[in-house]
Amino acid sequence: MNDTADVAPAVRSILAAARDRDGGSERLSVDARSLPHAFAAAESEGRIPVIAEVKPTSPTTEGTREDDPVELARQMVDGGAAALSVLTEPDHFGGSAENLRKIREAVDVPVLRKDFVVREDQLDVVESDVILLIARFVDDLSGLLEAAEARDFQALVEVHDGEELSEAIEAGASIIGVNNRDLAKLEVDLATFESVAPAVPEDVTLIAESGVTTPKDARRMRDAGADGLLVGSAIMDGDVQMNTEKFVNAETNE
Ligand SMILES: O=C(O)c1ccccc1NCC(=O)[C@H](O)[C@H](O)COP(=O)(O)O
């Protein structure tokens, strides 16, 4: 695992828990729904491709949303989400593999497993269409990416700066997310995406992650080159269907 000494205490705690968490006992083989195809379908219908995140709580959110996660997921899809992200991290985000399993059964859009996977056996916990690999926290990014793809997962490789972007490109990532949240300080700055995006190759599916809180933010990320947006807190706060619609239609309702 790359440098963890300089990350926020909450993130150190997340990573300690991730290292201790068991993996799956059987190697998975996934029949994945295509994220790039889902993005293209949304674009063709005039919707911004939004990955809406089922995120019951987090270290930077007050309280926990106790609603049925499957019902929330359905409302996000009804609101036009091209894909969903489901937290499976239990200790800091209130997620579970069971939530993801039930949600993936209930919807027909691609589902991203949002967790802090640090070892190959942790890929085998639950089937999803896309799996998150965070460049900063993975020792052998190309090895883990290869292991994910060998199971037919699509991998979303998350980066925060140019160095991590180079690492992701070298590892062969075809879906890259630029996280606007600095995991060292937990501060969010949309300028992060704007500074990293220009170096991302054209053929990569590029996602702006974190800190998108208004339709104006959504347009800003799209203007900077985002193919899609990953939105958590701003969708989870209130009526999730209406909130999703707001982001999905941010360009048409301008
Ligand atoms: O969201 C947090 O508080 C957080 C804290 C520490 C590590 C990671 C964290 N979030 C993970 C994410 O990637 C976000 O859930 C996701 O990008 C959505 O972000 P947002 O729209 O800002 O909720």
| 174-184 mean pLDDT | 96
Domain membership flag for residue 2: no
pLDDT one-digit tens code per residue, 224-247:
999 999 999 999 999 999 999 999
Res 53: pLDDT: 98
Of 58, 137, 158, the one to substitute when testing ligand 1's pocket (max ligand atoms within 8 A of C-beta) is 58
Ligand 1 centroid vs 59 CA: distance in angstroms?
Answer: 8
Q: How confident is the model at residue 151 (pLDDT cuts 50, 70, 90)?
A: very high
Domain membership flag for residue 53: yes
For the Cβ of 186 lying below 6 angstroms from any atom of ligand 1, the answer is yes
Domain membership flag for residue 91: yes
Q: How confident is the model at residue 208 (pLDDT cuts 50, 70, 90)?
A: very high
CB-count burial class (<10 Å; 0-12, 13-18, 19+) for 252: exposed
Domain membership flag for residue 3: no
Range of the domain at 80: 9-20+33-219+230-248
For the Cβ of 143 lying below 6 angstroms from any atom of ligand 1, the answer is no
Query: Per the structure, how many domains does the chain have?
Result: 1
Higher pLDDT, 171 or 62: 171
Spatial distance between the Cα atoms of 143 and 176, rounded to a whole number of angstroms = 16
Spatial distance between the Cα atoms of 84 and 131, rounded to a whole number of angstroms = 12
Q: How confident is the model at residue 3 (pLDDT cuts 50, 70, 90)?
A: low
Residue 140: phi and psi, rounded to 5, are: -120, 85
Domain membership flag for residue 26: no
| Helix and strand counts by DSSP (H, E) for the chain | 11, 10
| pLDDT at residue 254 tops 90 | no
* CATH label of the domain that carries residue 79: 3.20.20.70
| pLDDT at residue 4 tops 70 | no
pLDDT one-digit tens code per residue, 182-191:
999 999 999 9
Ligand 1 centroid vs 210 CA: distance in angstroms?
Answer: 6
pLDDT one-digit tens code per residue, 100-148:
999 999 999 999 999 999 999 999 999 999 999 999 999 999 999 999 9
Domain membership flag for residue 60: yes
pTM for this entry: 0.97
> Which numbered atom of ligand 1 lies nearest the CA of 235?
21
